[in-house]
Amino acid sequence: MEGVGFISVYQGAEKVTPIAVITGASSGIGAATAIALGRHGYRVVVGARRVERLERVAGEEGVALPLDVTDEQSVSDFVREVARRFGRIDVLVNNAGGALGLNPLEKAIDDEWIGMWKTNVLGLMWMTRACLPLLRKAKHGHIVNIGSIAGFETYRGGAGYTAVKHAVRAISKTLRLELNGEPIRVTEIAPGLVETEFSLVRFHGDRKAARAVYEGLKPLTADDIADCVLFAVTRPAHVDIDEIVVRPVAQATVWQVARKPSRKRA
Protein backbone atom coordinates (compact mmCIF):
# COMPACT_ATOMS: atom_id res chain seq x y z
CA MET A 1 0.00 0.00 0.00
CA GLU A 2 3.04 2.26 -0.20
CA GLY A 3 2.68 5.39 -2.27
CA VAL A 4 -1.10 5.31 -2.31
CA GLY A 5 -2.87 8.44 -1.13
CA PHE A 6 -6.05 8.34 0.93
CA ILE A 7 -9.35 9.34 -0.64
CA SER A 8 -11.43 11.78 1.34
CA VAL A 9 -15.08 11.91 2.34
CA TYR A 10 -16.84 14.84 3.92
CA GLN A 11 -18.01 14.67 7.54
CA GLY A 12 -19.91 17.92 7.73
CA ALA A 13 -17.57 20.49 6.17
CA GLU A 14 -14.43 18.54 7.11
CA LYS A 15 -12.57 16.18 4.79
CA VAL A 16 -11.83 12.86 6.47
CA THR A 17 -10.27 9.56 5.44
CA PRO A 18 -12.86 6.75 5.31
CA ILE A 19 -12.42 3.90 7.79
CA ALA A 20 -13.01 0.32 6.58
CA VAL A 21 -13.21 -2.61 9.02
CA ILE A 22 -12.68 -6.09 7.56
CA THR A 23 -13.12 -9.32 9.53
CA GLY A 24 -11.38 -12.58 8.71
CA ALA A 25 -8.69 -10.53 6.99
CA SER A 26 -5.62 -12.68 7.60
CA SER A 27 -5.95 -14.49 4.25
CA GLY A 28 -8.14 -15.07 1.21
CA ILE A 29 -11.01 -12.73 0.40
CA GLY A 30 -10.59 -10.71 3.59
CA ALA A 31 -6.91 -10.00 2.97
CA ALA A 32 -7.49 -9.18 -0.71
CA THR A 33 -10.35 -6.83 0.22
CA ALA A 34 -8.27 -5.03 2.83
CA ILE A 35 -5.42 -4.53 0.35
CA ALA A 36 -7.79 -3.32 -2.38
CA LEU A 37 -9.51 -0.82 -0.07
CA GLY A 38 -6.18 0.36 1.32
CA ARG A 39 -4.86 1.01 -2.18
CA HIS A 40 -8.01 2.95 -2.97
CA GLY A 41 -7.47 5.30 -0.04
CA TYR A 42 -9.36 3.73 2.85
CA ARG A 43 -7.78 3.46 6.29
CA VAL A 44 -8.24 -0.26 6.91
CA VAL A 45 -8.71 -1.91 10.28
CA VAL A 46 -8.26 -5.64 9.91
CA GLY A 47 -9.27 -8.30 12.40
CA ALA A 48 -8.61 -12.03 12.69
CA ARG A 49 -7.09 -14.57 15.02
CA ARG A 50 -3.77 -14.85 13.14
CA VAL A 51 -2.37 -11.44 14.08
CA GLU A 52 1.07 -12.05 12.54
CA ARG A 53 -0.56 -12.39 9.12
CA LEU A 54 -2.79 -9.39 9.76
CA GLU A 55 0.14 -7.06 10.22
CA ARG A 56 1.41 -7.85 6.71
CA VAL A 57 -2.06 -7.22 5.29
CA ALA A 58 -2.53 -3.94 7.14
CA GLY A 59 0.80 -2.52 5.99
CA GLU A 60 2.18 0.71 7.41
CA GLU A 61 -1.04 2.74 7.19
CA GLY A 62 -3.55 0.12 8.34
CA VAL A 63 -4.33 -1.19 11.81
CA ALA A 64 -4.22 -4.89 12.76
CA LEU A 65 -6.18 -6.00 15.82
CA PRO A 66 -6.87 -9.48 17.21
CA LEU A 67 -10.45 -10.63 16.60
CA ASP A 68 -12.32 -13.88 17.08
CA VAL A 69 -15.87 -13.32 15.82
CA THR A 70 -17.04 -16.49 17.61
CA ASP A 71 -16.24 -14.81 20.95
CA GLU A 72 -18.60 -11.95 21.83
CA GLN A 73 -16.07 -10.47 24.26
CA SER A 74 -13.41 -10.43 21.54
CA VAL A 75 -15.86 -8.63 19.25
CA SER A 76 -16.63 -6.10 21.97
CA ASP A 77 -12.93 -5.46 22.68
CA PHE A 78 -12.17 -5.06 18.97
CA VAL A 79 -14.96 -2.56 18.32
CA ARG A 80 -14.15 -0.61 21.49
CA GLU A 81 -10.59 -0.15 20.23
CA VAL A 82 -11.82 0.98 16.80
CA ALA A 83 -14.10 3.49 18.52
CA ARG A 84 -11.24 4.77 20.68
CA ARG A 85 -8.95 5.28 17.69
CA PHE A 86 -11.35 6.54 15.02
CA GLY A 87 -14.78 7.28 16.50
CA ARG A 88 -16.64 5.95 13.47
CA ILE A 89 -16.73 3.26 10.77
CA ASP A 90 -17.54 4.06 7.14
CA VAL A 91 -17.45 0.50 5.78
CA LEU A 92 -17.86 -2.82 7.60
CA VAL A 93 -16.98 -5.95 5.61
CA ASN A 94 -18.27 -9.05 7.38
CA ASN A 95 -16.01 -11.59 5.72
CA ALA A 96 -15.16 -14.06 8.51
CA GLY A 97 -16.80 -17.42 7.86
CA GLY A 98 -16.27 -20.75 6.17
CA ALA A 99 -17.40 -24.34 5.79
CA LEU A 100 -16.55 -27.41 7.84
CA GLY A 101 -17.04 -30.92 6.49
CA LEU A 102 -19.13 -32.33 3.68
CA ASN A 103 -21.09 -35.06 5.43
CA PRO A 104 -24.74 -35.88 4.71
CA LEU A 105 -27.05 -34.61 7.43
CA GLU A 106 -27.47 -38.01 9.09
CA LYS A 107 -23.69 -38.28 9.54
CA ALA A 108 -22.98 -34.64 10.34
CA ILE A 109 -20.67 -33.73 13.21
CA ASP A 110 -22.15 -31.43 15.84
CA ASP A 111 -18.93 -29.48 16.40
CA GLU A 112 -18.79 -28.64 12.69
CA TRP A 113 -22.38 -27.40 12.69
CA ILE A 114 -21.78 -25.31 15.81
CA GLY A 115 -18.52 -23.92 14.43
CA MET A 116 -20.17 -22.82 11.19
CA TRP A 117 -23.09 -21.16 12.99
CA LYS A 118 -20.83 -19.30 15.38
CA THR A 119 -18.50 -18.03 12.65
CA ASN A 120 -20.88 -17.32 9.77
CA VAL A 121 -24.01 -16.23 11.63
CA LEU A 122 -23.49 -15.27 15.28
CA GLY A 123 -20.14 -13.66 14.51
CA LEU A 124 -21.64 -11.58 11.72
CA MET A 125 -24.56 -10.53 13.93
CA TRP A 126 -22.34 -9.67 16.90
CA MET A 127 -20.02 -7.62 14.69
CA THR A 128 -22.86 -5.78 12.98
CA ARG A 129 -24.67 -4.99 16.22
CA ALA A 130 -21.47 -3.74 17.84
CA CYS A 131 -20.48 -1.64 14.82
CA LEU A 132 -23.85 -0.01 14.08
CA PRO A 133 -23.34 2.91 16.51
CA LEU A 134 -20.04 3.69 14.76
CA LEU A 135 -21.56 3.28 11.29
CA ARG A 136 -24.23 5.78 12.31
CA LYS A 137 -21.51 8.31 13.14
CA ALA A 138 -20.27 8.25 9.54
CA LYS A 139 -21.89 10.50 6.97
CA HIS A 140 -22.64 7.41 4.89
CA GLY A 141 -22.21 3.92 6.35
CA HIS A 142 -21.98 0.67 4.42
CA ILE A 143 -22.27 -2.97 5.53
CA VAL A 144 -20.94 -5.60 3.13
CA ASN A 145 -21.71 -9.22 3.98
CA ILE A 146 -19.74 -11.92 2.18
CA GLY A 147 -22.27 -14.64 1.52
CA SER A 148 -22.24 -17.42 -1.06
CA ILE A 149 -24.30 -18.93 -3.84
CA ALA A 150 -24.93 -21.55 -1.13
CA GLY A 151 -27.20 -18.89 0.35
CA PHE A 152 -29.85 -19.60 -2.28
CA GLU A 153 -28.84 -23.03 -3.65
CA THR A 154 -28.23 -26.39 -1.98
CA TYR A 155 -26.12 -29.48 -2.59
CA ARG A 156 -25.54 -32.93 -1.13
CA GLY A 157 -23.50 -32.82 2.06
CA GLY A 158 -23.99 -29.10 2.42
CA ALA A 159 -26.86 -28.84 4.90
CA GLY A 160 -24.74 -27.15 7.54
CA TYR A 161 -23.04 -24.66 5.23
CA THR A 162 -26.06 -23.86 3.07
CA ALA A 163 -28.08 -23.28 6.23
CA VAL A 164 -25.65 -20.67 7.56
CA LYS A 165 -25.31 -18.91 4.21
CA HIS A 166 -29.11 -18.85 3.82
CA ALA A 167 -29.07 -17.17 7.24
CA VAL A 168 -26.55 -14.55 6.04
CA ARG A 169 -28.89 -13.77 3.16
CA ALA A 170 -31.83 -13.42 5.56
CA ILE A 171 -29.82 -11.15 7.86
CA SER A 172 -28.82 -8.92 4.95
CA LYS A 173 -32.43 -8.57 3.80
CA THR A 174 -33.58 -7.87 7.35
CA LEU A 175 -30.94 -5.17 7.79
CA ARG A 176 -32.19 -3.41 4.67
CA LEU A 177 -35.65 -3.21 6.22
CA GLU A 178 -34.44 -2.12 9.64
CA LEU A 179 -32.01 0.51 8.29
CA ASN A 180 -34.33 1.86 5.62
CA GLY A 181 -34.38 5.65 5.91
CA GLU A 182 -30.88 5.83 7.37
CA PRO A 183 -27.80 6.60 5.24
CA ILE A 184 -26.42 3.07 5.66
CA ARG A 185 -26.16 0.78 2.65
CA VAL A 186 -26.25 -3.02 2.81
CA THR A 187 -24.64 -5.20 0.15
CA GLU A 188 -24.32 -8.97 -0.04
CA ILE A 189 -21.60 -10.49 -2.22
CA ALA A 190 -22.43 -14.11 -3.15
CA PRO A 191 -19.47 -15.86 -4.78
CA GLY A 192 -19.32 -19.29 -6.36
CA LEU A 193 -16.06 -21.26 -6.40
CA VAL A 194 -13.18 -19.12 -5.15
CA GLU A 195 -9.77 -20.71 -4.70
CA THR A 196 -8.56 -19.69 -1.25
CA GLU A 197 -7.95 -21.61 1.99
CA PHE A 198 -11.72 -22.27 2.08
CA SER A 199 -11.56 -25.91 0.96
CA LEU A 200 -8.40 -26.62 2.94
CA VAL A 201 -10.25 -25.55 6.09
CA ARG A 202 -13.40 -27.45 5.08
CA PHE A 203 -11.42 -30.69 4.70
CA HIS A 204 -9.37 -30.12 7.85
CA GLY A 205 -6.03 -29.66 6.10
CA ASP A 206 -6.44 -32.42 3.49
CA ARG A 207 -4.65 -30.74 0.58
CA LYS A 208 -5.55 -33.46 -1.94
CA ALA A 209 -9.27 -33.10 -1.20
CA ALA A 210 -8.98 -29.31 -1.31
CA ARG A 211 -7.22 -29.31 -4.69
CA ALA A 212 -9.86 -31.62 -6.19
CA VAL A 213 -12.54 -28.93 -5.69
CA TYR A 214 -10.86 -26.69 -8.28
CA GLU A 215 -9.48 -29.27 -10.71
CA GLY A 216 -10.40 -28.90 -14.37
CA LEU A 217 -11.61 -25.30 -14.21
CA LYS A 218 -10.43 -21.77 -13.60
CA PRO A 219 -12.01 -20.69 -10.30
CA LEU A 220 -12.46 -17.16 -9.08
CA THR A 221 -9.68 -15.60 -7.04
CA ALA A 222 -9.82 -13.59 -3.83
CA ASP A 223 -8.93 -10.51 -5.88
CA ASP A 224 -12.04 -11.03 -8.03
CA ILE A 225 -14.25 -10.78 -4.95
CA ALA A 226 -12.28 -7.82 -3.60
CA ASP A 227 -13.03 -6.05 -6.90
CA CYS A 228 -16.75 -6.60 -6.29
CA VAL A 229 -16.51 -5.15 -2.79
CA LEU A 230 -14.56 -2.16 -4.05
CA PHE A 231 -17.12 -1.52 -6.80
CA ALA A 232 -20.02 -1.64 -4.33
CA VAL A 233 -18.52 0.67 -1.72
CA THR A 234 -17.31 3.29 -4.21
CA ARG A 235 -20.71 3.94 -5.85
CA PRO A 236 -22.32 7.36 -5.24
CA ALA A 237 -23.96 7.58 -1.82
CA HIS A 238 -27.50 7.33 -3.24
CA VAL A 239 -26.69 4.02 -5.03
CA ASP A 240 -27.03 0.74 -3.13
CA ILE A 241 -25.67 -2.37 -4.82
CA ASP A 242 -28.15 -4.72 -3.21
CA GLU A 243 -26.32 -7.93 -4.10
CA ILE A 244 -23.68 -9.27 -6.44
CA VAL A 245 -23.71 -12.90 -7.54
CA VAL A 246 -20.40 -13.88 -9.12
CA ARG A 247 -19.26 -17.30 -10.36
CA PRO A 248 -16.52 -18.71 -12.56
CA VAL A 249 -17.68 -19.14 -16.16
CA ALA A 250 -17.45 -22.93 -15.74
CA GLN A 251 -19.93 -22.99 -12.84
CA ALA A 252 -23.64 -23.04 -13.67
CA THR A 253 -24.91 -23.91 -10.18
CA VAL A 254 -23.32 -24.72 -6.87
CA TRP A 255 -23.02 -28.38 -7.99
CA GLN A 256 -23.00 -28.24 -11.82
CA VAL A 257 -19.49 -27.41 -13.00
CA ALA A 258 -17.90 -28.00 -16.42
CA ARG A 259 -14.48 -29.50 -15.83
CA LYS A 260 -11.82 -30.22 -18.42
CA PRO A 261 -10.53 -33.79 -18.21
CA SER A 262 -7.19 -34.03 -16.46
CA ARG A 263 -4.22 -35.03 -18.57
CA LYS A 264 -2.76 -38.29 -17.38
CA ARG A 265 0.94 -38.81 -17.72
CA ALA A 266 2.02 -41.71 -19.91
d(CA 40, CA 8): 10
d(CA 1, CA 60): 8
Laid out side by side, the sheet with 43-48 consists of: 63-66, 43-48, 19-23, 91-94, 141-146, 184-191, 243-246
Domain boundaries, position 141: 9-246
Number of other CB atoms surrounding residue 239 within 10 Å: 9
Q: Given this model, what pLDDT does residue 64 score?
A: 97
Catalytic residue among 10, 42, 155, 161: 161
Q: How many CA atoms, within 13 angstroms, populate the side-chain half-sphere of residue 102? A: 14
**Residue 70 domain-assigned (yes or no):** yes
**Residue 49 domain-assigned (yes or no):** yes
**Residue 258 domain-assigned (yes or no):** no
Q: What's the average pLDDT block by block, 10 residues per block, for the chain (266 residues)?
A: 44 78 96 97 96 91 96 98 98 96 96 97 98 98 98 96 98 98 98 86 78 90 97 97 98 94 59
Active site residue 161: yes
Which ranges constitute the DSSP H helices of the chain?
Answer: 28-39, 51-58, 72-86, 110-116, 123-135, 159-178, 198-202, 207-212, 222-233
Q: Given this model, what pLDDT does residue 261 score?
A: 85
Number of domains in the chain: 1
Measure Cα distances from 135 to 185, 209, 220, 221 in Å: 10, 40, 30, 29
**Residue 201 domain-assigned (yes or no):** yes
Q: What is the CATH number of the domain that holds 142?
A: 3.40.50.720
**Residue 254 domain-assigned (yes or no):** no
Q: Given this model, what pLDDT does residue 16 score?
A: 87
Q: Given this model, what pLDDT does residue 10 score?
A: 54
**Residue 62 domain-assigned (yes or no):** yes
Query: Is-contact 22 44, C-beta < 8 A?
Result: yes
**Residue 261 domain-assigned (yes or no):** no
Q: Given this model, what pLDDT does residue 263 score?
A: 62
Q: Given this model, what pLDDT does residue 5 score?
A: 40
**Residue 265 domain-assigned (yes or no):** no
Q: What pTM was computed for the model?
A: 0.91
Measure Cα distances from 90 to 28, 141, 223 in Å: 22, 5, 21
